[in-house]
Amino acid sequence: MSIFAALDVYHDIAPRSAAMNMAIDEALLESARVPSVRFYRWQSPALSFGYFGRFADVADYADERDLVRRWTGGGIVFHGEDLTYSIVIPANDPVFAESSTFIYEKIHCALVAALSGMGKCAIVAGGVDPGSVAVAMRTAVSASGYRCFANPVRADVMLNHRKVAGAAQRRTRAGLLQQGSIQGVALGNGLAERFAQALSANCSERRINQEIFNRARELAQCKYGTESWLRKR
């Protein structure tokens, strides 16, 4: 069963800097009126780490990867060969009233359905007890140097006993942002399209408008691209 009654889909195929990718996600969260999913790429090998992470745990990668601190939580994620996505749920949508745990699981159930359509026998890890995802995430981010794909938590997506998809969230008055990464599976065969269709039977293709780009550039310059944000902890 679809999660969303309607869904805007952004295939943002232009490779972007790590700071700009994070900034566009936040700009979409600020402006969204209906749920949306954005699929995006990186202009160079990148590394994102959670809001509560320590810069010291990623500093050694600074010479080889484009580093950025996410606004969402979670651990260290390497980007470049993955399919990265963000889902925005505005506060006026009924799904926003659900728990973060429920949303995390349902989005990953949709991803499992998409992978199943490609002949992949993926599963959602564990069943989800109330609060278990949040507890696991808090435990994970407290571990020094935590790497998301080496440490699956409940409701992550598993394939052949390996984690292939994880995500992190941020909830504000405007809505909920979930940023996720899919790794270690063939990304062809229309995976992004299948995922979007599993999220909603009523998908509309959209392009990011100039207003969102302008706001994102501002956020990239004043926030995500700054040393003060990167070294916040």
Question: 147-157 pLDDT, tens per residue?
Answer: 666 566 778 99
* Predicted local distance difference test score (pLDDT) of residue 17: 98
Q: For the sheet containing 66-69, what is the strand order?
A: 66-69, 46-49, 77-79
Q: Give yes or no: 148 in active site.
A: yes
CATH of region 7-206: 3.30.930.10
Domain residue spans in the chain? Answer: 7-206
* Predicted local distance difference test score (pLDDT) of residue 150: 58
Q: pLDDT: is 22 or 147 the higher one?
A: 22
| Spatial contact of 137 and 155, defined as CB atoms under 8 Å apart | no
Residues 6+ apart with CB under 8 A from 130: 99, 101
CA 72, CA 168: separation in Å to the nearest integer? 6
Looking at the DSSP bridge assignments, the partners of residue 88 are: 36, 177
* Predicted local distance difference test score (pLDDT) of residue 149: 61
pTM, rounded to two decimals: 0.89
* Predicted local distance difference test score (pLDDT) of residue 186: 83
Closest CA to 168 of 137, 199, 126, 208: 137
Q: Which of 109, 121, 148, 203 is catalytic?
A: 148
* Predicted local distance difference test score (pLDDT) of residue 126: 76
> What are the pLDDT digits (tens) for 109-145?
999 999 999 999 999 987 544 333 443 343 333 333 4
| Spatial contact of 75 and 146, defined as CB atoms under 8 Å apart | yes
**Percent of the chain surpassing pLDDT 90:** 81
Helix boundaries (H) for the chain: 18-31, 100-116, 132-141, 191-199, 210-219, 227-230
Closest CA to 72 of 104, 41, 98: 104
Q: Is 2 left (phi over 0), alpha (psi -120 to 50) or beta?
A: beta
> What are the pLDDT digits (tens) for 167-224?
999 999 999 999 999 998 888 789 999 999 999 999 999 999 999 999 999 999 999 9
| Segment 69-90 mean pLDDT | 96
Burial string for 203-221 (b: 16+ CB within 10 Å, else e) reads beebebeeebeebbbebbe
